[in-house]
Amino acid sequence: MKVLVVGGGGREHALVWKIVQSPLVDTVYCAPGNPGIAELAECVHIPADDIDALLDFAQAEQISLTVVGPEVPLTMGIVDRFQEAGLEIFGPNQAAAQIEGSKSFSKDLMAKYGIPTAAYKTFTSRDEAVDYIEKQGAPIVVKANGLAAGKGVVVATTKAQAIEAVDSIMLDAVFGDAGSSVVIEEFMAGEEASFFAFTDGTNILPLASSQDHKPAFDNDEGPNTGGMGAYSPAPVVTEALTTEIVETIVKPTIRGMAQDGCPYVGILYVGLMIANGKPRVVEFNARFGDPEAQPLLVRMKSDVVPVLQACARGELTISELEWHDKAAVCVVMASGGYPAPYEKGLPISGLDEAGALDDVMVFHAGTSFQDGQVVNTGGRVLGVTGLGTTVASAIERAYQAVDKISWPGVHFRTDIGKKALNR
């Protein structure tokens, strides 16, 4: 069979890496792909948001299964278009993708079905939002309502900071239309974790636990990013907690979406805050997390392709996935300055040396070829992923590889996975 993966980041590199291992698959295409993906699959120069061109390509090449990596094409309705054309595609349709595309949609869904989350209010008026902040005080969380590439969230420790965030989002439009309205939430203390489940709209298949590191700097300091690293398994998500997350969050969400006439199919990402052993939802995403996909897919022993097909067909009967006993740690190497503006086109050295290490996968995210060299083109450039018998040995392996790679101004956190060691 032929598979098309849509996207060109680290998550898509990990998906391609896993899909090419399936005995069911003959050929993998990736649109637009990146230099790392090009070593495994045939890259097609079609942007991930050019749905017409992607559909034309899939029909011309008789693609058996399309797997959508990023959120933007999902919220644009790529799944609806492919299904109308009779093509098999993995991911939620446009109505269901609102769970990520609109913070107010997901918060209203949680309120309606009693899913544990922070108290919130949505505002389209800057002045009303500011009045609310003045009354509530700080700490408080300000979110752009629409898609903002994982950066539209400000955890404000003072009222002045929160008001500045509202002005930046609503008046300065730093996230464009995504900030035409804001969601303001109570601050939730605790430890963050990521939980993923495959679903065909009715049945669910949970994945192993993982934990992302959102802030740019060590000790969870600095501005929020799309994610600076992740590891799996995450000791904070115990067996008992897994059961509670499935029963009180995942099942009611999938059931509620179906009852509301927009059944959710694909992979559901639940961003969690865990305090005193109790989980609450920070956010939902309509796709694999990035960078969590990297350690999760590296640890997954099962063939992922039958799972993707079963979800797309509404036939998910698989009850359990097999996992390697090893732990995996992904360290994101970013451009200097990220998530603020950064310099692009800088040549990256040491990729071959790092990739030659045992139990290391170097997943490309923001890279491209320029004059025969791999250069940085994005904020998050590489996801260097190490495997080990323990989280400690996986951390050591990942950082051994990180030490071999460099370009001017490279930035990465030095404490990815430390929370697991502290437990």
Domain architecture of the chain: domains with CATH: 2-93 (3.40.50.20), 119-186 (3.30.1490.20), 191-313 (3.30.470.20), 327-422 (3.90.600.10)
Which residues, listed in sequence order, are joined to residue 66 by a DSSP beta bridge? Answer: 4, 89
Question: Can you list the positions of beta strands (E) in 92-190?
Answer: 120-123, 140-144, 153-156, 182-186
* Whether the bond into 339 is cis, omega within 30 of 0: yes
Distance from C-alpha of 307 to C-alpha of 295, rounded to nearest angstrom? 18
Choice among 147-156, 274-283, 313-322 with the minimum mean pLDDT: 147-156
Q: Stretch 207-219: mean pLDDT, rounded?
A: 94
pLDDT, one tens digit per residue, over 265-299 is 999 999 999 999 899 999 999 999 999 999 999 99
Percentage of the chain beyond pLDDT 90 is 86
Phi–psi pair at 273, nearest 5 degrees: -120, 125
Q: What do you get for the CA distance between the two ends of the chain, in Å?
A: 44
Specify the pLDDT at position 150.
Answer: 64
pLDDT, one tens digit per residue, over 117-147 is 998 889 999 999 999 999 889 999 998 888 8
Amino acid identity at 302: S
Of 333, 77, 116, nearest in space to 225 by CA: 333
For the chain, give the mean pLDDT: 95
Q: Stretch 163-184: mean pLDDT, rounded?
A: 88
Distance from C-alpha of 97 to C-alpha of 93, rounded to nearest angstrom? 6
Specify the pLDDT at position 40.
Answer: 98
